[in-house]
Structure 1
Amino acid sequence: MTGEDARKSLGELNIGKYLDGSKGLHALLDVEKLDFELDNILPLGTTGYKAAGKFHGALAGEYPLEEDWLVLLPNPLESNLPNTLSHQLAGNAVDDHAHFRTRLPPLIFDKLFDFYAIARFHLIGLSLLEQLDVALSIKDLRSAHTDGQANMSSILLTKCIPTTQSSVNKVETHTDPGTLLMLFNPPPSLHLFRPADPEKPESKPRYIPISPPPGSAAVIVGDALSFLSRGRLHAAQMCMMAAKGMENVGEWHSVAYRLGPDEKAMLVDFEKVKWPAGDWHAARMGVEADETL
């Protein structure tokens, strides 16, 4: 959901025409019912969360994280989540509170927000993929996201500094390496590229702000979904630009949930090169292929 499109019908959105009536998308249009509080996000530069993986990043203050940390996940035997979801998300994680209290900086331990809201985002993403499978007559989307397998899903917590770039000078135009990116409270400076409409000769390509209404989320197509759909869905191009609303803001906290495929799921890029999803993600992020992101 993007900028001026935020309040239009789903049929006006990039993937909305395939998801009209989806319970998952409806849930993302009312995120507040998931008990997700943006005020509870951590004051981090950029960190990661994996459903069956690691927590990593650098704290903006005096507690730099110089190594990977396992994320606190619920014990499946004590959780009130469905058994399949509990086991899917518990994976390799440690569920000992004392371990994290002694290993993590207090600022992080004390402010870890509601895990169950994050778990719901994961399920919503899978629900959207099931809808896309049916709408596009493709079987590879949901099957590349196997319950219980280590995957490339992550929660991204960001502290955005206002850009001083002009509206002409764009900062790091990029796509997301994952499957679906669910954006909550994105900064006004984050823009999405909209190509010219081939049916309207007068239209021109332009960048528009990504601004879902309060309590809602933007859903962005990533590289993995573009590959899995064999190019039928295009990865969104995003960039940071100067924007109204950021002039007097020292920093802007936002959060995103990246739904990613299994680490071993095979992706075929547009050069016909086959990649395990973990290697593709590592190559995109410029790290060693065996490093967990």
Structure 2
Amino acid sequence: MIQMKIISEKEIIKLVSENINFREEIVVPVGEDASVFFPKQDCNIVATTDSMVLDTHFSSDISPFELGYIAAASNVSDLSAMGANPALALINLTIEKPSKEYIENLIQGYNKVFKKYPVSVIGGDTTYGPQNISMTLIGYTNHNNFMATSNAKVGDIIFISGPIGESFLARKNKSYHLPEIRNTLGVMLPEYANCCTDMSDGILESVNNISKKSHVGVKINIDKIPRNEELDLLISNEKITWEDIFNYGEDYELIFTVKKENAKILKNVCSNIGLDIYEIGKIIGNNEIEFYLNNKLADISNKEKFEHFKL
């Protein structure tokens, strides 16, 4: 068995520095005690952070590429839900045995996401210990509509950006789902949407947040929710329930509400540029959360909040 050589913090910083995406607002890059950047003018600065911890968010079977990709995607998804373009990142990594190969693959994973925008890593920290990666992303938006979950209105049409249950199926098959990044859609939405959030904790948790914070009800048509046919087969064979799917997260799709007058306009705009969005329900006024299947009210429970990779 080949023993991987453990590398030092300085060597990790060197590898990160050699793989940084250039952005013109960076004044002092990685390598000093702190980085300096001159932010874009006439933009709102939007910041988010996420941590991923071994045996809580991922298992030991995850590859470094998958870990880097998912950590980056989860943060970009948060910014997308606020209508922001990602720009700068800080990464903190705790790892017991960092090898050059491991760090290179981790960098390839997060840069698979970051290079598109581009996002530039401007700092972070490395520590020896139980595996954990934490990212802080900074982005920009020139909109003042941040699509807060407290802003849904009665009569709004509810859309989602893509299929649910992909991460659920992946973990059931002992693999990991590398989500599509919905930033192109997210930065468009402030012109049309009242409210938006990413479904990192599952669709049930998302609609609950919208309902509670906006003081509205939510009506969802299960038949209209895009999903893999394998999920329907598992449900029909009583292997899983709708609650299993709806309470599971990590798909990082956007769920958003749009005023009825704007819904058709948004559909046309998305169709013209090749973006798929799916109308799945509407905001109602009774403060209840209702799921319908085959035009009948379905009994969907959300007693158990999503726990990362519980399968």
TM-score by length of structure 1 reads 0.30
Q: Which has the larger radius of gyration?
A: 2
TM-score (norm 2): 0.28
Between structures 1 and 2, the one with greater strand share: 2
